[in-house]
């Protein structure tokens, strides 16, 4: 069994905050894979479902703690103990200041790096769980960090945020199979379209290859030895042709 945890703060007031991107990722996965409706449990919202990974179907739980970010570990610890899971069965999705918007990284263990939700989970279950860090970018000034994190995503952010959430949902089955590196690579591949310059270069190369093939065929036809008319006439006579 896999426990997927999205971090955020409860309530409409916080719904569009950058700090709530973990909630958004959890909702995207649940929606894409047909998880059951949420129910209140473990001081959070719990949804049950399955992820069909390369190694088969895996029962999975999605938990959104409702304890507010700073006490997220209470909900995660309660769910983990109830289902007799280990930290290795837990995957946490959360915002990362030190990653550029639209970037994602996965790691196991490590420090909290100032993230209060991760610090709380560390305190309740230890730090050996999988972490999916979703970049929200740094405002560039420490004095603006709080307002940046607790501010809504800009309208222009939807250009990268929506594809990111879709990619996370599509790649989630790889987490069920324990393929964390492939999960990250799959998302990167989905979010990196072929660059226009590369497309043009490939198109030009194909055109050039086609032109070269035609020129080669034409040259070959032109270089084909021409027959001697007297020899051809004699051959035709032998064959009974006039």
Q: Which residue among the candidates 17, 19, 33, 115 is catalytic per the annotation?
A: 19
Which residues, 6 or more positions from 55, have their beta carbon under 8 angstroms from its beta carbon? 176, 177, 178
CA-wise closest residue to 106 among 122, 94, 119: 94
Angle at 24 between CA 18 and CA 28, to 5 degrees: 150
Query: What residue has token string 């007297």?
Result: 230
Distance of alpha carbon 35 from alpha carbon 162, whole angstroms? 20
Question: In the sheet that 56-65 helps form, which strands lie side by side, from edge to edge?
Answer: 39-41, 44-53, 56-65, 2-6, 90-96, 130-135, 104-108
Residue 95 dihedral angles phi and psi, to the nearest 5°: -80, 145
- Is residue 19 part of the annotated active site? The answer reads yes
**Long-range pairs for 97-101: beta carbons < 8 A, 24 or more residues apart:** 97/136, 97/137, 97/138, 97/145, 97/148, 97/149, 98/135, 98/138, 99/133, 99/134, 99/135, 99/136, 99/137, 100/135, 100/137, 101/135, 101/136, 101/137, 101/157, 101/160, 101/161
| Active centre residues (catalytic) | 19
């Amino acid at each position: 069994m896999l426990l997927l945890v999205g971090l955020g703060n409860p309530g409409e007031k916080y719904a569009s905050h950058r700090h709530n991107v973990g909630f958004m990722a959890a909702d995207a996965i649940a929606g894409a894979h047909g998880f059951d409706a949420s129910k209140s449990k473990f001081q959070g919202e719990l949804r049950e479902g399955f992820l069909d990974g390369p190694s088969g179907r895996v029962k999975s739980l999605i938990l959104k703690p409702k304890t507010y970010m700073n006490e997220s570990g209470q909900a995660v610890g309660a769910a983990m103990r109830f289902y007799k899971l280990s930290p290795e069965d837990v995957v946490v999705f959360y915002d990362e200041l030190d990653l550029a918007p639209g970037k994602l990284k996965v790691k196991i263990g490590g420090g909290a790096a100032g993230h209060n939700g991760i610090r709380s989970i560390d305190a309740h279950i230890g730090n050996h769980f999988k972490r999916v860090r979703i970049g929200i970018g740094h405002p560039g000034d420490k004095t603006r960090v709080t307002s940046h994190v607790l501010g809504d995503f800009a309208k222009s952010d939807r250009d990268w945020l929506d594809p990111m959430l879709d990619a996370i949902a599509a790649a989630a089955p790889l987490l069920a199979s324990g393929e964390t590196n492939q999960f990250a690579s799959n998302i990167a591949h989905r979010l990196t379209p072929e660059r226009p310059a590369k497309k043009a270069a490939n198109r030009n190369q194909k055109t050039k290859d086609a032109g070269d093939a035609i020129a080669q065929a034409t040259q070959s036809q032109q270089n084909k030895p021409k027959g001697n008319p007297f020899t051809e006439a004699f051959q035709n006579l032998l064959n009974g042709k006039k």
